[in-house]
Structure 1
Amino acid sequence: MDEITVETSPRRAERARGRGRLALAAASLRAAARLRMVEPEIRGLHHLVRAGDVCFDVGAAYGMYTFPLAELVGPRGAVHSFEPQPRPRAVLAAMRRAVGAAHVRLSDHGMGRRAGHLPLVLPSRYGVRISGHAHLADRLAAQAPTAGPAPRRIRVPVTTIDDVCAEHAIARVHFIKADVEGFEPEVLHGAARVLERDMPALLLEIEDRHLGRYGRTADEVSGMLRERGYAMQTWRDGGWRAAERVVLGTRNYLFRAA
């Protein structure tokens, strides 16, 4: 008689506990989104992502999007999370271990239009580092000097979405979220092949105050994506609604094939 390999009860139980911990983490973030304690767009991810999908979380920070995405794609999918800042990345890595999300692939790289190394600027306020305002110092427009202590700079590795897909033989990308303080156009330049091949859904932070440091505007970015065949939406009243242009007070914009 052929030998049959049977998964042991302890292993099944551990996998079930892991799925339960991930589901709890994702549900907690969705609850926080309902209270607007975190970004409300998290509530709309289930309209964009399904089991088995491949997602990129660029500027993952502490995992606000990583864990809801990981629950949605499940173990047959993958979430590639990129966070070059050491402290947020360490927290995200610890959380990934705690919830047993082995299908989250965490990287210390920033994302841009080409591979290499770039300075990462870490601003501070009242002596406290503001991780949410960290940005890569590449193609910066001239800026007036700011008051207070000079921001810290660390040199970080940078890659591109196209290079990651080639390296890992990723056949299709379904969803990309990018929140990189104005560097989003450079991330898109580095995903040119993926955008042409897959036309994934894109959730981007688009604000003139951040884009301006690189000499770009919100209208320029949204216009470029419309020319590629994307339609722009925002999360309002519990659903994704068509948006004509970027407006003050709304940070995140979804782009899907028109």
Structure 2
Amino acid sequence: MTVDAASAPLPRASAVRRSGWRLRAGHALYRLATRLHWAEPELNGLRAVVRPGDAVLDIGAALGMYTVPLADIVGRDGRVFAFEPQRRGVLTVRLLRVLTGARQGTTRRVALGPNAGDGHIAVPFRRGFPIFGHGHIAEGADDGQHRLHQSRTHIDTVDAWCAAHGIDRVAFIKVDVEGFEPSVIEGARRIIDRDRPSLLLEIEDRHLVRYGRDAAGFLAELHERWPEYRMHTWDGAHWIETGTVDPATRNYLFATEAALAG
């Protein structure tokens, strides 16, 4: 199945309150960044599965690469809930939201996982410098002999957080958490069972192995519990259905036919 994001149906203009010009400009800059290979190309495919008015979750928001484009797409009637356990990332995302006017939704300094509790974020060092983009949950991780800096974080679950905040429907969930993706999905089972949100997941064996997982096993679990999902990759213009994970590709979209049809 091939899906073109540009052809995705939209609600009538009279039913949609568009985002402001600053947010539209911010989104345009991110789209330009994808052409320069400074941002992930999947940003250009979000409109195929995210609609104005949707509530979406950005888990592992990092520096807000997805938060701003998602806020533009969902418009003033939608909500973007961003989750990032590292202080540096949270401050950056909040600043971007102020600068672009992307204020619908919230940014939370919290990690998401299979159970609520307290944990630690481990940030590896290379050549004496911290690699914040590879920060990950320390509990259960095998980091070998790498030098790490750890900081405390609260851990919640998608299911519990949505219940506590009265989120009645989730349309889309993006998860990029350096190999902890299966654990995040485990804590989101009720929401996925209820809403069948489209899922954009980073799936890389080099990160999954840190927690004793692999891509093949993760895909088998997803298919067994939610067989209606189909896996897709972005080819630059379309979502292309695929059945395998390619080491050269980081992100995979899991969506139902209904979600892609709009």
TM over 0.5: yes
Alignment of 1:1-258 (within 5 A): 19-140=20-141, 142-146=142-146, 150-227=147-224, 228-229=226-227, 230-257=229-256
How far apart are the structure 2 equivalents of 1:26 and 1:121? 31
CA shift digits 1:127-158 (9 cap, x unpaired): 22111100001222x45323xxx210001011
Structure of greater relative contact order (alpha carbons < 8 Å, 6+ residues apart): 2
Work out which of the two has the higher radius of gyration on C-alpha atoms and give 1 or 2: 1
How far apart are the structure 2 equivalents of 1:173 and 1:203? 13
Q: TM-score, normalised by structure 2?
A: 0.88
Q: TM-score, normalised by structure 1?
A: 0.89
How far apart are the structure 2 equivalents of 1:43 and 1:256? 16
How far apart are the structure 2 equivalents of 1:37 and 1:94? 20
CA shift digits 1:172-198 (9 cap, x unpaired): 100000000000001001101001101
How far apart are the structure 2 equivalents of 1:27 and 1:164? 31
Q: Are the counterparts in 2 of residues 116 and 159 from structure 1 also a CA contact under 8 Å?
A: yes
Structure 1 runs of 4+ with >6 Å offset: none
Unaligned segments of structure 2, at least 5 residues: 1-16, 258-262
The percentage of aligned residue pairs carrying the same residue is 44
Which residue is equivalent to 1:10?
Answer: none
How far apart are the structure 2 equivalents of 1:129 and 1:25? 28
Q: Are the counterparts in 2 of residues 119 and 136 from structure 1 also a CA contact under 8 Å?
A: yes
Secondary structure of the structure 1 residue equivalent to 2:166 = coil
Q: Which letter does structure 1 place at the counterpart of 2:221?
A: M
Secondary structure of the structure 2 residue equivalent to 1:123 = strand
How far apart are the structure 2 equivalents of 1:90 and 1:72? 22
Unaligned segments of structure 1, at least 5 residues: 1-14
How far apart are the structure 2 equivalents of 1:24 and 1:196? 36
Q: Are the counterparts in 2 of residues 96 and 104 from structure 1 also a CA contact under 8 Å?
A: no
Task: Give RMSD over aligned pairs.
Answer: 1.5
